[in-house]
Every structure is written in structure tokens, then in C-alpha cells.
Amino acid sequence: MQSLRELYRIGMGPSSSHTMGPRRAAEVFRQKHPDAARVRVTLHGSLAATGKGHLTDQAILQGLAPLQAEILWDPKPLAFHPNGMTFEALSEQGTPTATWTVFSIGGGEIREPSGQVEPAPSIYPLRHMATILAWAQDRCGATGACVPVVAANGPAVALYEGLGFRTEAFRYHYRRRPGAGEI
């Protein structure tokens, strides 16, 4: 998980596996096949059985836009998962030039039949703490960083000391109602 945006996702329809996953799959397919004249998508299993009511077709059409698309409905599920989709890039003559089968496994995640996960696009250009700290120093004049950790948490303290966090900046404590017991 790269950010909370992967935990809390906003999408159309009542089911993330029927809208967010299919839309993401459509966007990935469009990016991989920008020269397709049009696209044919076959929804399998559960996606075909409830896709209209759950707006699966609309999510896919939005994800493929501006490409023209045809959606077919096949209620027979594929072996890997009940929420299967087969995307076909078509030439001007209607001949398939590429095919991709993918599954919407919930929460907007998609997987290929091999189990391979289609990675989410990176939203953060800086990937390592040293790079982030250097950026903050150059851009904002930051002179350090702070990581709050409970002093009694020896393993966490050791981890952060190993990363260069050595100075105790401040102490704080949690107030507890009398008789509440230990945390």
C-alpha cells in the first residue's frame, strides 16, 4: 500500500469489485494499447450476472474512453475468480490484436490468472527517507525530522536509532481515567 488512498477509495456503484477494479483494468488496457481502433470486453461470471445493476459496464466504458468499446456478457465464471474480464484490442477491420484476461478481486485490485498483481501507479516521486529529507532541506530549509515513538518500545527505538534518529526531541504521556488499567 502506498497511501491511504488505496484504503479509502471512492467509486461508482455498490461494489468496488464490480466498478473500481473493472475501471482500473480498463484504464490499464487503454494505456497498454493506445493504438486500438476499438475494444471488446467480455465480462465473465459474477460481473456478467450483476454488472448492469452494479454499473460495471459504465465503469469500463469510462476507463476506456475515448476508445469505442463493445461489452459482452458471459455468465459462466472463469477458473481463477468469479469476477473475470477479457479485454481485446481490435484493429480497424475488427481483428483482435491483443487479448488480456484479468480479475477484479475486491477493493479495486486486479490480478492476472497467474496471480500477478497489476501494480498501482506510483503517486510519490520520492521513495526513500534520505531523499525525502534532502528534498525537505532543499525546498523548505528543514534541519531534521521527528518520529514519535513510545520510549518503552525498545525494538522501535532501536530501529529508528539505526536509521539515524538519535535525539529525543520531547516527551509526552497519555492521560488515563483513574482505574482504567494499563494500556
Same domain, 145 and 73: no
Give the C-alpha distances (Å, rounded to integers) separating 172 from 15, 148, 151, 155, 165.
43, 10, 10, 19, 17
Same domain, 20 and 90: yes
Same domain, 77 and 145: no
Same domain, 107 and 53: yes
Same domain, 30 and 105: yes
pLDDT of residue 44: 96
Q: Which of 111, 133, 154 finishes a domain?
A: 111
Q: Which of 62, 85, 111 finishes a domain?
A: 111
Same domain, 101 and 133: no
Same domain, 72 and 107: yes
pLDDT of residue 133: 84
Q: Is 32 within a domain?
A: yes
Q: Is 61 within a domain?
A: yes
pLDDT in tens, the chain (183 residues): 566 666 556 666 677 788 889 999 999 999 999 999 999 999 999 999 987 888 999 999 999 999 999 999 999 999 889 999 999 999 999 999 999 999 998 878 899 988 776 666 677 788 787 888 888 899 989 887 888 888 888 898 888 888 778 777 777 766 777 877 665
Q: Using N-to-C axis directions, what is the helix angle for 56-64 and 20-32, rounded to 10°?
A: 30
pLDDT of residue 156: 86
pLDDT of residue 66: 95
Same domain, 96 and 173: no
Name the domain count of the chain: 2
pTM of the model: 0.65
pLDDT of residue 142: 87
Which residue segment(s) compose the domain that 72 sits in?
A: 4-111
Q: Is 179 within a domain?
A: yes
Instruction: Locate 51 and state its grid cell.
Output: 454488472
Q: Is 94 within a domain?
A: yes
Three-state DSSP state, 60: helix
**Burial, 49: exposed, middle or buried (Cβ in 10 Å; 0-12, 13-18, 19+)?**
middle
Q: Is 9 within a domain?
A: yes
pLDDT of residue 145: 81
Same domain, 80 and 132: no
- DSSP-assigned beta bridge partners for residue 100: 87
